[in-house]
Amino acid sequence: MRDELLSIIEKNSRIDLKELAVMLGVGEIDVVNELCALEKEGIICGYHTLINWEKTSIEKVNALIEVRVTPQRGKGFDHIAERIYKYPEVKAVYLISGGYDLLVTLEEKSLKDIAMFVSEKLSGLDSVISTATHFILKKYKDHGTILSVHEEDQREVISP
Amino acid sequence: MNKFLAENIVSIKPSGIRKFFDIVSEMKDAISLGVGEPDFDTPWHIREEGIYSLEKGKTFYTSNSGLKDLRQEISNFIKRTRGVSYCPDNEILVTVGGSEAIDIGFRALINQGDEVLIPQPSYVSYEPCAILAGAVPKIIQLKAENDFRLTPGELLSAITDKTKILVLPYPNNPTGAIMTKDDLSKIAKIIVEKDILVMSDEIYAALTYDGKHSSIVEFEGMKERTLLIEGFSKAYAMTGWRLGYVCGPKEIIAQMTKIHQYAIMCAPTTSQYAAIEALKNGDNDVKEMRTAYNQRRRFLLHRFKEMKLDCFEPYGAFYVFPCIKEFGMTSEEFATKFLQDEKVALVPGTAFGESGEGFLRISYAYSLETLKIAMNKLEHFITKLRQK
């Protein structure tokens, strides 16, 4: 049940508990218990909403920043990663294999705010060697969801 | 003009679905639960392979029986899902959908007057195709109390010395019924004993929700007397690609290949390339779609229980087949009134044979949101009927 439960609520975290139980073919209480367990085990880390901000009047600018750092003795990359992810404007931090070390995604109100963050906060950290900032111009798909395309059912209305 | 027309085709009624289709198409905002094809798009990697084949200029005929690589993949697939080996060289034919295999299968086997046993309710084309091939169709009326499975008793009492073929349409459209391994073993025994053939239409095999699909070819003595019809439409959501196949004894496949060669030439080349990708790398897509269908199936059955609508639990395809006999209307009356009052289209069970009277086919090849709205409307409708 666990895998199927996770794959349903990954797509729709607002689904009704009763409905979830019916779809999985188990009791409602089992679903509640499993969800509690998943939260406790840190497998479910949050219930977020995917918003297409472009359609609102609120301005948001997103950037992906490649960061090269010097790992610290005994702490590897974890320590420097923590110093970066503690900033609330940082949306995600990933350790990356390849040409650079950390990928940081940042959300701010304006280009200027991003520039300020990179130059004053990020570049100033001791172990940061270099950064490369990429601005996101348009989001086509996010979290597995294609944004802003509404597709009509193209099938014939009745077929054998 | 009529005097020029062929009598045998004139005497065949147009599909019962057609009539309903015309009414629904007129209504703009109607919700339809009447579709017999998946709501998913063909998985992108499969489409991509089709596109790539076009880019590479693979736009020519293939061999009559289909691309060698595809037949090899089909052979591997049947081996891993049914445990039976078919030789890609002479026991497999790639067809234009499962539908073509049904048609040419009858044409390759029927002599005028041979009897074909067709259990109903079932897919609309067996009976007309059998008639066009010169057969006398003998309908076996399946019963709700048997969950629409074919019983040994029903089979035995339908067999005469003219019987040549039994059509075995499981998992079933429109009822969603399946035949278990146990059910099939009894059928297989009779088939061998009475020395007849089986046309096993397993187009919905991948959509089985209670364990693994069982096929009649798995039983002793059945591979040599079965045409196993399968395809890509339902499992991989590839209806528009028009691609199916048939596996069977090489003598029958050879005759079918002749008809196919003269009537069709070969199945669409682009579709064949896409199908290779589907068989090689599509298992996961099928699994995901099956999981989604199963969730919707459970949802519908739960809603029927809530509204006290009688329905047996179907374990296959993407249909449920609730009984509406309590309302004292025919299936067609019910479906027509439901469409007028609530603007939801369902298919009357009678479109799939007389024994579908008193039942409706509801397809769950729709999003859960759509199903939810439609079930609320159905509940509203039957509550009103019951108050009268």
Which chain A residues contact residue B21 at CB under 8 A? Answer: 156-159
Q: What is the ipTM of this complex?
A: 0.84
Bridge partners, residue B197, by sequence: B165
Share of chain A above pLDDT 90, in %: 83
Structural domain range at position A25: 2-40
Give the number of domains in chain B: 2
- The Cα–Cα gap between B160 and B171 comes to 26
Q: What is the CATH number of the domain that holds B11?
A: 3.90.1150.10
Domain annotation covers residue A153: no
One domain, residues A65 and A36? no
CATH of the domain at A114: 3.30.70.920
Residues in chain A closer than 8 A to B39 (CB atoms): 153, 155
The CATH number given to whatever domain includes residue B180 is: 3.40.640.10
Residues of chain B contacting residue A7, judged by C-beta atoms under 8 Å apart? 291
Smallest CA–CA separation between A39 and chain B, in Å? Answer: 23
A25 → closest Cβ in B39, B298, B345: B298
A84-117 pLDDT per residue, tens: 999 999 999 999 999 999 999 999 999 999 999 9
Q: What is the 3-state secondary structure (H, E, C) of chain A?
A: CHHHHHHHHHHCCCCCHHHHHHHHCCCHHHHHHHHHHHHHCCCCCCCCCCCCHHHCCCCCEEEEEEEEECCECCCECHHHHHHHHCCCCEEEEEECCCCCCEEEEEEECCHHHHHHHHHHHHCCCCCEEEEEEEECCCCCEECCEECCCCCCCCCCCECC
**B38 and B68 together in one domain:** no
Residues B358 and B227 in one domain: no
Q: What is the pLDDT of residues B184-210, one digit of tens each?
A: 999 999 999 999 999 999 999 999 998
pLDDT, tens digit (0-9, with 9 covering 90-100), for A71-88: 887 888 999 999 999 999
Question: Domain check: are B94 and B198 in the same one?
Answer: yes
Band (pLDDT 50/70/90 cuts) for residue B16 is: confident
Q: Does the beta-carbon distance from A156 to B299 stay under 8 Å?
A: no
A121 in any annotated domain: yes
Contact B345 A156 (CB under 8 A): no
User: What is the least distance, in Å, from the CA of A160 to any CA of chain B?
Assistant: 5
Please identify, among B266, B282, B298, the residue that sits at the C-terminal boundary of a domain.
Answer: B282
Question: Do residues B117 and B75 both lie within one domain?
Answer: yes
Q: With respect to residue A147, please indicate whether it lies within any of the assigned structural domains.
A: no
Q: Are residues A17 and A84 in the same domain?
A: no
Domain co-membership, B7 together with B60: no
Count how many pairs of residues, chain A against chain B, have C-beta atoms within 8 Å. Answer: 53
Domain range spanning residue B205? 44-282
Report chain B residues whose CB lies below 8 A from the CB of A4. Answer: 291, 295
Residues A36 and A61 in one domain: no
Classify residue A109: in a domain, yes or no.
yes
User: Does A154 touch chain B if contact means CB atoms closer than 8 Å?
Assistant: no
Residues A63 and A32 in one domain: no
Query: Are residues A81 and A22 part of one domain?
Result: no
B176 and B160 inside one domain = yes
Q: How confident is the model at residue B250 (pLDDT cuts 50, 70, 90)?
A: very high
* Chain B touched by A4 (CB under 8 Å): yes
* pLDDT at B25 (0 to 100): 84
Please name the residue of chain A whose CA is at the shortest distance from the CA of residue B239.
Answer: A155
Pick the closest to residue B83 from B232, B243, B247, B194 (CA basis): B247
9-48 in A: which are within 8 Å (CB) of B? Answer: 19, 22-25
